[in-house]
Every structure is written in structure tokens, then in C-alpha cells.
Amino acid sequence: MAACLVRVESLDPVYDERARDWARRLGLPLGSEAELALQVGPDGLQLQALEPDAPGPVRVDFVEGAMAHRRQFGGGSGQMIAKAVGIQPGVRPQVLDATAGLGRDAFVLAALGCEMTLIERQPVIAALLEDGLQRAARDAEVAAICGRMRLQAGDAIKLLEGWSSEPPQVIYLDPMFPHRDKSALVKKEMRLFRSLVGDDMDAPALLSTALRLATHRVVVKRPRKAPVVEGTPPGYSLEGKSSRYDIYPLRSLKR
């Protein structure tokens, strides 16, 4: 029998029922031959490549590690992402992150006071993010931040086209693109992500849809030397050492 892409497995019998629940929700097999394993254990959900000498698992952790360090020492509203979405004194825009991934950028913006809606279309990645948000909601230090993050699993283009509630002021996009970052963390995550989702070939359609829905601006994060997303050109860009934010202004964000 050919191996499937993802299986669900429990890391201890005590988590067997939770593993069965996730397998049912995601329509994934338990215990089959696979390339990746969505593992249920004491630290919540994690995604592990099963090839020999594979790097360690990927999980969403808003409480400790890199996200805790960035929350405490990341530069606050002076960060480039904050400037890109229009954070300024007295202004904390409502932001829809339509390509949420593991939720790191959304968490940074929520930590700065923005009300965030997150959309992730890949079901396994959305499951990792849901699990990370649930665990963070039980932590006193970050519960209020995660309370400003609402997750929707599904195709962003379809969800934006059918949007029926108040339109977001800012829509933030970070389409998958061939990254050149050499860090082990990025390489590990990109290997897993690309096997699940590949590159976002519909990024131009997503940008076009976002420009029709956002009331104030659309922001697209890109590798610094990457071309702009095909379609409407950005009004201006903010460029850092490895990343660039292309800004599509629609209306001024004011207090």
C-alpha cells in the first residue's frame, strides 16, 4: 500500500482518544505508512517528518521560546510589521491575516493591541494553530493576547468573497514563496509546509480579493528580493534585511 502524506498518532496511550478525535476531524488515518505524523502528546499537537534523520517536530507555542522572546524584546510598535499595518499612537487597526500559517505574525500584532482574524486553509496547519491558541488561552501571561485572535479554517479567497460581517481595516498576506533563509528553524518548517501546501499559485487572486474587501490597506509580506505579487502594484514598500512589506493603501488610518 502506498504511503499517505499525513497520519495521526498518539505519543502515549493516554492521548489515544484525542488522536482518534483529530483523525476523525481531519479525515486522516491512524497508524498508516506516511511521510508526516500529526502527533498528539503532552505538549499538544506537533507535526513530525518521518524520514530518516528528519529534524524535530513543528508545533505552535505562543507561551515560551521564540515567541515569548519576541513579545518581551521584539521592539514593540517600532517593528516593521507594526508600521506596515499602520500601527501608530492611538491607532490599532482591525487586521485579517488571510495566510495565517503558524500564527506568528498575527500574534505579534495581537500583542501590540490589534484585533486579529486568522484564516488558514491547510487543515493540518490550522489544527496546529488551533491547538496552540487553546494552550495559550490557559496561560495567564498571554491569554489576553490570544483573546484578540480568532481563527477560521478554510479557503481565504472563498471566505473573503463571501464576507458578511464588518470588513477588516487591514488585510495581511504572506503567500508561500521560495525562501532563502538559512536558519535551521525556517528550513525545517519550510520542508514540512511545502510538502503540505506547495507555493501559493493563487496569490494574485487572493490579493485582488483582499483589495476589494479591506477598507484601509492591504499588506503583502515578501522575501526582500522577491518580485511583487502579479496585479495591482503596491503604493510603497518597507524593506528590511530579509523581508519586505508591500503596502497597498486605500484610505488613511487615523485616530
> Residues annotated as binding site for S-adenosyl-L-methionine?
104-105, 120-121, 174
Instruction: Write out the binding residues.
Output: 104-105, 120-121, 174
C-alpha cell at 15: 492521548
Give me the amino acid identity at 95.
V
C-alpha 63, offset from chain centre: 16
Beta strands in the chain (DSSP E): 4-10, 34-41, 44-49, 95-97, 116-120, 149-153, 170-173, 217-223, 236-239, 243-249
C-alpha cell at 121: 486553509
Question: Residues 188, 55: contact at Cβ < 8 Å?
Answer: yes
**What is the C-alpha separation between 67 and 249, in angstroms, rounded?**
29
Question: Residues 154, 226: contact at Cβ < 8 Å?
Answer: no
